[in-house]
Amino acid sequence: MKRVLTAIVLIPLVLLVLFKAPMWLFTLVVGVVAMGAAWEYLKLVDAYGVASMKALTLALIAFVFGYFIYDTFHPGPFSLSRLVIAILLLPFLLLVEAMATDELPKALPRASMSALAVPYVLLTLFCFPLIRALPSGVFLILFMCIVVWSGDIFAYYAGRAVGRHKLAPRISPGKTWEGTIASFVGSVFLAHLLFVHNRQIMEALNHWHLTDSGGLLDMSKEMLLLSGIVLGAGVNIAAQIGDLVESMLKRGAGVKDSGAILPGHGGILDRIDALLFALHIVFLYAFFSVPLNI
């Protein structure tokens, strides 16, 4: 019951922020989520017996999202130079801090495992505001969320009904090949429908005053069909891998959930583990199909 109630509250809030929040508020919300997810990841590092370096890592995440919010209030060409410099400096700063480690054999693991929060959490979630800034950004994010969430639902019910063959028993004993296949087929079918009918979807959202964003760029029906299938397949595969990766991290750390902030769902990282991998697929699609002007 807790799981259902949390979802009932959380999903409308996520959609409200996606559709209605101005860019600065959207970025702020994503930044808060990134800070929470990074904190949980660093706590997992602690569970491996390696004291993580939380202060510098979280400070960098706050700086990156804070700078992007600052930029939204100062229109002009967005420069990534400061952010790139900060991100490139972090591993070196962590290595310097690691020299204070009492047990020197743990110095490198402390720095390297802490630095992994940058590509795993920071750079991934920073794709959210970059994608949303596109004319088709709202649809692409909505598309990704629906494909990922529906894949989870298909996998859960198919796995319970007909699941017999374990997918990765060492990492996630509950996952089956039957659930994995059902997730892939179901979410790809839904993805192609979303792409083919993207104009109607966005027009309905505009009519209901939920958003004033347009749909995708003009494409032939054949290209929409192909794009929906290919992107849907990529998002589903990436999402399932992301789920398994976080399960691996938790099992290695000997914990059931990454946190307890979401009743019935565990931690923030537990809820966005699939998105952390799926976001890269959507970002690459957006990057190659629409110039991001960054």
Task: Enumerate the domain spans of the chain.
Answer: 2-289
Query: What is the rounded distance in angstroms from the CA atom of residue 278 to the CA atom of residue 185?
Result: 16
Question: Of 34-43, 127-136, 259-268, which has the strongest mean pLDDT?
Answer: 34-43
Task: Check whether 274 has a pLDDT greater than 90.
Answer: yes
Q: How far is CA 187 from the centre of its chain?
A: 17
Please report which confidence band the pLDDT of residue 125 belongs to, taking 50, 70 and 90 as the band edges: very high
pLDDT tens string 138-193: 999 999 999 999 999 999 999 999 999 999 999 999 999 999 999 999 999 999 99
pLDDT tens string 37-81: 999 999 999 999 999 999 999 999 999 999 889 887 876 655 667
More confident residue, 284 or 205: 284
Please report which confidence band the pLDDT of residue 294 belongs to, taking 50, 70 and 90 as the band edges: very low
- To the question of pTM greater than 0.85 for the whole model, the response is yes
The count of residues in the chain is 294
Task: Check whether 250 has a pLDDT greater than 90.
Answer: yes
